[in-house]
Amino acid sequence: MQMPQIRLQSQQAKISIHTTDATVDIGQPEAEQTIRQPQAEITMHTTPSKLTIDQTQAWNDMDLKSVFKRTEDFAELGKKSYLDGIARRVQEGKEMMQIEKGGDPIVAQAKRIDERKLKDFGLGWIPSRFAVKTDYQPSELDINVKINRPEIKNTAQKPEFNYQKGQVDTSIAQYQSLKVDFENLKFYGVNGFEMNI
């Protein structure tokens, strides 16, 4: 006896998914930097040295005096001789006024005049010690330095972003299906009617 059979054959739907990944590109340009170093400014001021030599005393000691110095010395000598003469005459006058007290002032005065010493002769052309006077002022150096700071300029660069978004593409790779198949299936109707389905 053949049993009726119903055969079902199904096929599932299949979905196709295609994915494109997102991409991110990041670029960082280098910063621009400029450095400038101005030179230092140096100024120097020099005061020259000064040497002075005074030989006046040495020339005077060697009797090589200037006209002005010789005139000054003669004036000083005349004044001293004048005052010494006045003092001597005053003294001699007092001695003469007191002649009554005894003694012989005229003879004493004549003897003093006769006993005047002559001037001693010496080597007059040799100057005295340290007669030449020197004075030295050393030079002075004034240095002024002005330091200039470096000039630094920075220009920052912004980062560069490039973004491409991802994408998902879907499609149906296979549609679903259902097949129904009958085997040994019969329809019996009235009056013995029979039909294969």
**Structural domain total, the chain:** 1
Q: Are strands 160-164 and 23-27 parallel, antiparallel or unpaired?
A: antiparallel
The answer to whether residue 13 sits within a structural domain is no
The answer to whether residue 37 sits within a structural domain is no
**pLDDT-derived band of residue 197, with 50, 70 and 90 as boundaries?**
low
pLDDT score, position 180? 82
The answer to whether residue 79 sits within a structural domain is yes
pLDDT score, position 66? 82
pLDDT score, position 56? 85
Query: In percent, how much of the chain has pLDDT > 70?
Result: 88
pLDDT score, position 174? 87
Residue 126 has pLDDT above 80, yes or no: no
Report yes or no: 48 and 185 within 8 Å, Cβ to Cβ.
no
The answer to whether residue 129 sits within a structural domain is no
Report yes or no: 46 and 187 within 8 Å, Cβ to Cβ.
no
**pLDDT-derived band of residue 140, with 50, 70 and 90 as boundaries?**
very high
Q: Between 120 and 87, whose confidence is greater? A: 87
The answer to whether residue 141 sits within a structural domain is no
The answer to whether residue 134 sits within a structural domain is no
Segment 137-150 shows an average pLDDT of 92
Structural domain span for residue 69: 64-115
The answer to whether residue 36 sits within a structural domain is no
The answer to whether residue 9 sits within a structural domain is no
